[in-house]
Amino acid sequence: MAPSATSPEKVDREDLTSRVLPEMVFSTGKADSMTAPPKPALAHLSPAERAQLRFAVSGNAIVTGGAGTLGFEAGKALLEHGLSGLMIFDVNPSQAQPKIDALQAEFLAAKIKALKVDITDDAAVSHAVETTVQQLGSIDILLCFAGVVGCTHALEMSPAQFRRTLDINTTGTFLCAQAVAKSMVSAKIPGRIIFTASISGHMVNYPQPQAAYNVSKAAVLSLKNCLASEWARYGIRVNSISPGYMDTILNEGEGIEKCKTNWKERNPSGRLGEPSELTGAVVLLASNAGTYINGTDIIVDGGQIIHS
Non-local CB neighbours of 111 within 8 Å, separated by 6+ positions: 60, 84, 85, 86, 135, 136
CA distances in angstroms from 22 to 19, 25, 230, 235, listed in the order given: 10, 10, 11, 20
Longest dimension (CA), the chain: 81
Distances 21 to 16, 85, 185, 229, 252 between C-alpha atoms, Å: 10, 40, 22, 16, 49
What is the number of residues in the chain?
A: 308
Q: Is 59 in a helix, a strand, or coil?
A: coil
Q: Which residues are tagged catalytic?
A: 198, 213, 217
**What value, to the nearest 5°, has the Cα angle with vertex 126 and ends 122 and 128?**
115
- Helices marked H in the chain: 8-18, 47-54, 69-80, 97-106, 122-136, 159-166, 172-187, 211-231, 257-265, 279-286
d(Cα 197, Cα 145) in Å, to the nearest integer?
9
Distance, in Å, from the CA atom of 111 to the CA atom of 87, rounded to the nearest integer, reads 8
Assess contact for 287 and 52: CB atoms under 8 A.
no
Phi, psi of 65 (to 5 degrees): 65, 25
User: Could you give the CA distance from residue 119 to residue 24 in angstroms, rounded to a whole number?
Assistant: 27
Distance CA 26, CA 14 (A): 31
Alpha-carbon dihedral sign for residues 287, 292, 294, 299: negative
Return d(Cα 305, Cα 298) in angstroms, integer: 12
